Structure 1
Amino acid sequence: MKFSTLMAAAAVAVAGFSSVQAAAKVPLTHEALWMMKRVGSPEVSPDGKWVVFSISEPAYDPEKAVSDLWLVSTSGGAAPKRLTNTKAGENGVVWSPDSTRIAFTTKREGDEVEQVYVLDVIGGGEARRVTSLSTAATRPQWRPDGQAILFETMVYPGALDDEANKKAIAAKKARKYNVRTYEHFPIRYWNEWLDERMPTIEVVSLEPGAKPKDILSPTTLAHTPGFSGPEGETSISLSPIWSPDGKEVVFSATVERWNAAFSEVNYQLWRLPVDGGEAAPITPAKGGFRSPTFSADGKSLYFGYAPRTEEIYNLARFSKVAWPAGGEITTVARDFDREPERFQITPDGKTAYILVPEAGKTNLYSVPTAGGKPALVIEPATGGYGALTIPQKAAKPLLIASYGSSVSPEEIVRIDPAAKTHANLTHVDTAEAATFDWQPPQHFWFTSAGGRQIHNMIILPPNFDPAKKYPLLVFIHGGAASMNTDSIGLRWNYHLLTAAGYVMLMTDYTGSTGFGEKFAQQIKLDPLKTPGLEIDQAVNEALKRYPYIDGTKMCALGASYGGHMVNWLEATTTRYKCLVSHAGEVDLESQWGMSDGIYNREVTNGGPPWEGNPIWRDQSPITYAKNWKTPMLLSVGERDFRVPIGNTLENWSTLQRMKVPSRLLVWPDAWHWILKPEDSRHFYQEVDTWLAHYLKDGPAPPAPGAIK
């Protein structure tokens, strides 16, 4: 089907594209939250005319979930049109330089693993598969001339082509034994055991019948002990991009991976000739590098850069290096004590727009690329922006992003910096969101006993009546290097938790990000005590400010570091009626030994456990087990290697030994997060029942094994 026909033809509309209809407000339910369509990040054509994005249509039965690509004009006013209609979703979507095609990876019928596909958006037709690998392809990138694509994959040691990888896979399957063998740290990450495979970069020409070529595995760098790429939550990625002339590839890698047990791991930016040769560092600086991006004129390479120091947190500052010369790094965003989450350069190369998380929101700033202090452009009244994109070949400057808040599901928007506002290009969930009885958070600040300014948010329940009294949920965010955000989440949804008639308090304690580098660093040598005192102060402040909170009926809950803090509250106060801890540590020493990362814990606590720093015991909740009295609901994923199940079992054993009313949820298929739809629904049911029992005199939770 021709593009003109595609855009003119009637398409199956996504529910929610119509204008908002007046409807009675209803409380949020798990079913409404989970089944709500989810809009993916915008990918804008280089000419600035079109945006491709995904729409996920969830289901409680994963086999019935759908995710496809859609197309919308950046001029606005027209409903999006569906581009794909397949069982598997598409990942890593990128436009061709001439704005006619898109590339992506997916696993379609006949594919063992994800492959690279190319779809002609203008001419229409079916997507064409351009790789047939035994190893999965990820993150495609077009060469500037549009005639080739690079991508990433994981390969076996010594395998320089796909035939060699196939042999390695077959040999592994043919083994009569099953064992993992290691000689160096790390051995596992988040939810999986690491194996011998290494990241590499391959290039495939778009000529029919062309085979991918591995350009990194033959190099000395790839065979250097300790070589690897930066580790994300679900994968390792070198984040490769083409040089402006298409003759080199730029990527981030380390040769210090095996040092992870006793030092910070430093990365460098590297350049690699595509036609053969060795990789060379672009800059002598080492540390962490994020999102390398070239300016339109090809004279500057921009990135986020964080040095590795003996601090537990360092800002990733917006920086650049000259190209092709390389050399020393220049900081672009100067005198700016905030960390850009994303940056984009205008086509004329003079201005950069950056997204900055601050106090629950994500704000838009601008800064001259020659260097300077960023200036605030837009601070949304609620929520914030994400996935900012600026097309480099557009007729005029154009800013496309996503926007959402805790009461507004993410939609694609066009930002007008001069007017300091945005206009929606999509309305996928607008109508449904308008039917829920939910309110944006109320913000307040107080000065802590230590003299720090502490940010907080209050979430109100549906049918809120300020004349009534409501039990309080004290939600504690994870991290600690994170912050509470005014956004919709599935893991701990504020409005779903408060729907049964609770008020929620969320505090950005010392160690949180979005409040300056020093504020995040001040948790060093004080991992739990001061944040715990600040949360206690926040509760006192909320009780003074909001007379509708019932201070006799309170529960604290959180996951990861939030779970650590809940465990600390168990050890240090009896003011709560109950507690809920998911994936929380209870013993700093055993957590050090079992976690997938250990050195950063030594930095936090002042050296390894055997050197005797009292923090290891003084700030371990289990040290104060004789004081434990508050009923606690424990939850843990069996595949969690970040806060392994051992710490939860220690917690459980202690609660049982001290005869504290407690309930343990072990999720065999979950890791650090509970992601399966039915598991998520049951988790919320368990939490709701626990809260109702202790805060509203509801019935006790059902006996273990009972079907709910």
Structure 2
Amino acid sequence: MSLLRRPALPSLLLPALAALLALPALAAKRPITHEDLWSFDRLSAPALSPDGRFAAVVVTKPAYDPAEQSADLWLLPVDGRGEPRQLTFSRAAEAGPAFSPDGRLLAYSVQREGDAVPQIYVLDLQQGGEPRRVTSLSTGARQPQFSPDGSRLLFVSSVYPGTKNDADNQRIAAERKARKDNVRIYTGFPIRNWDRWLDDRQQRLFVVPVAGGEALDLLAGSELVKQPGFGGRFSDTGEEIDATWTPDGQSVVFAATVNRHRAAFANVHTDLYRVSASGGEAVRLTGDGTLEAQDSYARPQFSPDGRTLLAQRTPRGEQVYQPTHLQPFDWPAMRPGTTLRLPGERAVNGFGIDADSRTVWLTAEDAGHEKLWRARLGEPEARLAFDMDRGVYTGLQVARRASGVLVANYDSAAEPPEVVRLMPRGGHQPLSAFNRERTAALDLAPAETFWFESERGARIHNLLVKPAGFDPAKRYPLFVLIHGGPHIMWRDSFFVRWNYHLIAGTDRVVLLTNYTGSTGFGAAFAQGIQGDPFEGPAKEINQAADVAIERHAFIDGTRQCAGGASYGGHLANWLQGTTTRYRCLVSHAGLVNLESQWGTSDIIFSREQNNGGPVWERGPVWTAQNPMLKAANFRTPVLVTIGEQDFRVPLNNVLEYWSLLQRQQVESRLLVFPDENHWILKGENSRTFYRELEAWLDRWEAAP
């Protein structure tokens, strides 16, 4: 019996269930299409009311034409006894919903008609009616949080350095717009992040009365924001400052860095700070105040009783990959408590503190899943709350005034995301069914798991996805799909970018291997790739294909292709120079030259750490494991793709590969997407990519 139990369906799902039962009993399920994939509703992480009664979620309805896409707020009863209720009805995309302490108000960010940039709006859930705009900053507003007494909102805005108020920002913006030149000028590193050039704007914290009024920049004029390395936390979508109100509502605790300007030659870290809710100089709470690399702190959160401050802590060490732990502090003394870790030094992804102020709930990756863990404050290691054999839990939220009420997103390779209530004793209860009816018509077999022992003695985890209409008597070609990172893992999850079932179609088996360097198997396993970026992982990928072919008679070992994106593209390029076992390859955003990748990417210092020293020393990794230096062996036909706005793996890396392929007269096809970044995110571009991928694989799998 599955450990992921499905309890009795709540009433909100009964209409959907009745519709499913009304379908013809013998109706054949069909393969997924790109149109299916693209049209599934996409759900934000839920926000949970303090009393645990309701969850708010942003539901995006995608469209190939961006002008036809919409995103709206929905309210879900957590007890499952009522119907989900749509709260907003505009094409403007709401984001970052947050409940007031009494659960009556919902704040969120949106750019409504008449707004030049997103602003904070507040909706009264009891009285209904139109939402009320609370902010009017020219620089916009996002990530609202109510103060403990519900009278004020904390939020984030990106402002120009040296500004004291919005008039300053408007003046500087007008001056820059009036300039006749167009030039970016830098004096340090970094200068880019993922798909955007960095400018001098800073992330700042603001407070505004919920009733309306002037927003106060808490850090304006402070010495902290004058430091050259000041900033927030970079992500693949931009930059944020993690912040939270103190229990008395008199201050704000936040995470920031002051040594980002050293990123070219040192590790960057973030510390916790406290600033008065009336503004002023911030007080550092962690670290020694020097610019030298130290442990990093992020996502601070207080216990409901206000006596404990918890934050994610990432230790600094010689290894580039470091697992994230949970660090409690006595508040307000800031005495550190027992660090909470996960078995095998797995990394903490999400966490929340129960209403009892003692129980901590966490999510963390484990062997292809993201599972729920629990611990008591003072314990050194969390334990698994319950096991699961399908899917992942993400976006965990814990009720602050109702013990044991937890909500999250759930999805699996065969199930698009929905919102669920996690049951502390095991399993989950569905709270939404946005995608369920459409999914029921599709032939989406669950991903299967197998393990093997690598040649160097490591246990290697794999997922296997069978095609729609699978017939065990047939023999199918194998596509070996390689994940990026490298410090991520293939998950039993529903991807839009690399959808396992869309790639499998009706005529191929997809193999997904979590090679050394993958997360979810302990810190030592993730760190094992340092100093061996390609050779060891590639051997494990090839061995995984051998094992899959040996164990499954339905796989035709004479018809193999392989490919991946980002680090997976790097490994595909390494395979190009080290084996001819694959009939074809696919390389998206893949480096071919370690040296030029180091010099042009938006991050550089961790690359030299991974490779054993600076590039100019040309240590053994820089030369022995550089795919470009294997170009004499390039033989395998390859589909090469890249987004022109990718600054993590810049276009020049792919152009170098293309030049080598052309010089070696290797049959190949190049796709450059001018308006895409590291991923292919636009609907029509995505459809073209999948169409090209399918045609490429079909061609070479069918070759004699």
Q: TM-score, normalised by structure 1?
A: 0.95
CA distance in 2, matches of 1:632, 1:246: 58
Superimposed CA distance per residue, residues 441-493 of structure 1 (whole angstroms, 9 cap, x where no aligned partner): 11111111111111011100011111111000000001000000111111110
2:7 is matched with: none
Name 1:649's counterpart in structure 2: 655
Q: Give the number of equivalent residue pairs.
A: 684
Residue equivalent to 1:414 = 421
For 1:160 and 1:668, the matched residues in 2 are separated by 38
1:305-359 deviation digits (Å, cap 9, x = unpaired): 1012221100001221111111446302366521121111111112111111111
Stretches of structure 2 lacking an aligned partner (at least 5 in a row): 1-11, 289-293
Q: Which residue identity lines up with residue 412 of structure 1 in the other structure? A: V
User: Are positions 1:137 and 2:137 aligned together?
Assistant: no
Question: Counterpart in 2 of 1:278?
Answer: 281
* Greater alpha carbon shift after TM alignment, 212-221 vs 664-673: 212-221
Gaps of 5+ in 1: 1-11, 699-708
Q: Which residue number in structure 1 is paired with residue 449 of structure 2?
A: 443
* Letter of the 2:50 counterpart: P
1:536 deviates by: 1.0
The answer on whether the counterparts of 2:327 and 2:340 sit within 8 Å (CA) in structure 1 is yes
How is 1:585-624 mapped onto 2 (pairs within 5 angstroms)?
A: 585-624=591-630
Alignment correspondent of 2:128: 124
Compare 217-226 and 241-250 and name the one that shifted more. Answer: 217-226
Deviates more, 1:494-503 or 1:428-437: 428-437
2:503 partner SS? helix
Bigger CA drift: 98-107 or 318-327? 318-327
**C-alpha displacement of 1:412:** 1.3
Q: What is the SS of the residue equivalent to 1:400?
A: strand
SS at match of 1:495: helix
**Corresponding residue of 2:317:** 309
> 1:220 corresponds to which residue?
223
Query: 1:228-627 to 2 correspondence within 5 Å?
Result: 228-284=231-287, 286-328=294-336, 330-333=338-341, 336-394=344-402, 396-418=403-425, 420-627=426-633
The answer (yes or no) to whether the contact 1:18–1:427 under 8 Å persists in 2 is no
How far 1:397 sits from its partner (Å)?
Answer: 2.7
Counterpart contact for 2:220–2:280, Cα < 8 Å: no
Equivalent residue in structure 2 for 1:54, among 37, 55, 58: 58
- Answering whether residue 111 of structure 2 is matched by residue 107 of structure 1, we say yes
Give the counterpart letter for 1:371 in structure 2: E
Report deviation, 1:207: 2.8
Determine the C-alpha separation between the residues in 2 that align with 1:508 and 1:336. Answer: 16
Letter in 1 for 2:138: S
Could you say what secondary structure the match of 2:586 adopts?
A: strand
- Structure 2 Cα separation of the partners of residues 381 and 446 of structure 1: 18
**Separation of aligned partners in 1, 2:694 and 2:340:** 48
Is the contact made by 1:16 and 1:428 (CA closer than 8 Å) also made in structure 2?
A: no
Q: Sort the Cα spacing of 1:151 and 1:636 in 2 relative to 1 into closer, same or farther, 3 A.
A: same
Change in CA separation of 1:274 and 1:17 when aligned onto 2, cut-off 3 Å: farther
The share of aligned pairs that are identical, in percent, is: 45
Match for residue 73 of structure 2?
69
2:20 corresponds to which residue? 20
Paired AA for residue 665 in structure 1: L
Q: Secondary structure at the match of 1:392?
A: coil
SS in 2 for 1:454: strand
- Aligned to 1:449, the other structure's residue is in SS state coil
Aligned match for 1:665, one of 663, 666, 671: 671
CA contact (8 A) 2:250 2:276 kept: yes
- Tell me: CA distance 1:499–1:545, structure 2 relative to 1, closer, same or farther (3 Å): same
How far has the Cα of 1:20 moved from its partner? 2.8
User: For 1:325 and 1:54, how far apart are their aligned partners in 2?
Assistant: 38
Task: String of CA shifts for 1:182-213, please: whole Å, max 9, x gaps.
Answer: 000000000000001111111111234x1101
Query: Which residue identity is paired with 1:262?
Result: F
Q: Please, which of 621, 625, 643 is the counterpart of residue 637 of structure 1?
A: 643
Secondary structure of 1:330's aligned partner: coil
Shift of 1:263: 0.7
The range that moved more, 446-455 or 324-333, is 324-333
> What is the alpha-carbon distance in structure 2 between the residues aligned to residue 486 and residue 158 of structure 1?
47
Q: What's the offset of the Cα at 1:214?
A: 0.5
Q: Does the aligned pair in 1 maintain the 2:450–2:461 contact within 8 Å?
A: yes
The Cα shift of 1:413 comes to 1.3
Question: What corresponds to 1:78 in structure 2?
Answer: 82
C-alpha distance in 2, partners of 1:36/1:647? Answer: 34
> Structure 1 residues 150-159 or 470-479, which shifts more?
150-159
1:199 alignment partner AA: Q
Structure 1 pair 36/326, CA: closer, same or farther in 2 (3 Å)?
A: same
1:62–1:150 Cα change, 3 Å: same
Distance 1:421 1:20 in 2: 23
1:378 partner SS? coil
Letter in 2 for 1:415: L
Hey, what's the Cα distance between the residues in 2 that align with 1:276 and 1:45? 28
1:158 aligns with 2:162: yes
CA distance, structure 1, for counterparts of residue 355 and residue 527 of structure 2: 36
Give the conservation status (yes or no) of the 8 Å contact 1:362–1:379.
no
Secondary structure of the residue aligned to 2:20 is: coil
> Could you say if the C-alpha distance between residues 493 and 296 of structure 1 is closer, same or farther in structure 2, counting changes exceeding 3 Å?
same
- Give the TM-score, by structure 2 length: 0.95
